[in-house]
Amino acid sequence: MGESADLISDLPQSILENILTRLSIRDAIRTSVLSTKWRYKWSTLTDLVFDEKCVSPSTDRVIVETNLVRFITGVLLLHQGPIHKFHLSTSFLQCRPDIDQWLLFLSRNGIKELVLELGEGEFRVPSCLFKCSKLTRLELCHCEFDPPKSFNGFSSLKSLNLHQILVSPEAIESLISGCPLLEFLSLSYFDSLVLSISAPNLMYLYLDGEFKDIFLENTPKLVTISVSMYMHEDVADFEQSSDYNLVKFLGGVPLLEKLVGYIYFTKYLSIGDDPGRLPITYIHLKTIELYQVSFEDANEVLVLLRLVTHSPNLKELKVSASPIQLFPLEEESFDLFERDCFDYKLPRLETVRMTDVSGIRNELEFIRFLMGTSPVLETVIVTSSLSDKDARMEMVVELLRFPRVSPRAQLLFLQD
């Protein structure tokens, strides 16, 4: 009986390459032992992903680090052709000259996507990175980023993710403005940063850190914004101005479809003088999620009302309340819903989810407002933070009395 045919090896080159791309780099290299046809076929892969799984596990950190460096260096030495993607994710390598050498090699091989997720250390991005003119995606974690004065940006970059990076505000702003095709931007774990963003093609923005102030100067195409904003002490940490932050931050994003805010984001938006009606209508905004909103603060409640009433196509609203304080409410906050809010209609709102509700007047009045102005409302989910059974029952009774303009609206009351 003759030898069985090697059907896999005789497949078209494009299919063989597809098979290899679905394997880890370690397993792809192991295919060299299958036959002479497979030997070094992996060496033309354009996407290279490395992590600790590339080497044998060990309890000795030095051994893992040494083996990982040898493995990556060996792969790059044997590689043939361009490398479009290089992804390194490890906590074992922090500040080593080997990384500099790898980046120098990549800068000469047409790198398009570069991801460096390193452990906490003092790795400084080498100057050769700024010569990678074909980069379309850049992700850096735990690095020092200091572009040379001659650097004018990445003309092809579409995605930028910087996590816990040591960099000056001027360098970040210069980098962003020097990437005219940028569509995705994520900045996280930055301290006391005043940031101006000018990115005419930006569509997705994710911010997480202690931002004192943020200016969206030229971002007309933004469709998704997610902001987690922290501060050390109190609202004084934010830059104070008579300009209304809600308008300053969201006044130039007419295409916005989804807005998500955490921690002190609503507090930040509430700073400044409220102009009444906003100068913009968010006709594309369908989802709003605001977490830890202080319903004891009339200015924060007003931000919530301004956003909701200027989003005629809003479909989904999620709001969590911050824990109530020990000081009494100001009476002026009670008339927010009696000024002109009930003149508005929310014609597309279908789902409302309110969590951590303690039953204070502004929380209940806001729910009343939503139920009385949303003709296609289907579900209102209220999750209470109250531990007292009688207090919860009183809240349920009051909620059930609220008029509903939607005949399909259902009220669901849950306990944390």
**Could you tell me the two tokens for 359?**
């039953």
Q: From the CB of residue 410, how many other CB atoms can be counted at a distance below 10 Å?
A: 11
pLDDT above 90: residue 323: no
Angle between the N-to-C axes of helices 361-373 and 298-309, in degrees from 0 to 180, rounded to the nearest 10: 10
Buried b or exposed e, range 294-312, using 16+ CB within 10 angstroms: bbbbbbbbbbbbbbbbbbb
CB neighbour list of residue 389: distance below 8 Å, 6 or more residues apart: none
What was the pLDDT predicted at 331?
41
DSSP string, 358-370: ---HHHHHHHHHH
Residue with more model confidence, 69 or 336: 69
Which of 85, 75, 77, 74 shows the shortest CA–CA distance to 42? 75
DSSP string, 113-179: EEEEEEPSS--B--GGGGG-TT-SEEEEES-B----TT----TT--EEEEES-B--HHHHHHHHHT-
pTM (2 decimals)? 0.89
pLDDT bucket at 239, cuts 50 / 70 / 90? low
Alpha-carbon span 57 to 63, nearest angstrom: 9
Q: Averaged over 85-114, what is the pLDDT?
A: 90
**Could you tell me the two tokens for 259?**
């807005």
Alpha-carbon span 241 to 83, nearest angstrom: 49
Residue with more model confidence, 91 or 341: 91
pLDDT above 60: residue 180: yes
pLDDT bucket at 168, cuts 50 / 70 / 90? confident
pLDDT above 90: residue 201: yes
Tell me how far apart the terminal alpha carbons of the chain are, to the nearest angstrom. 71
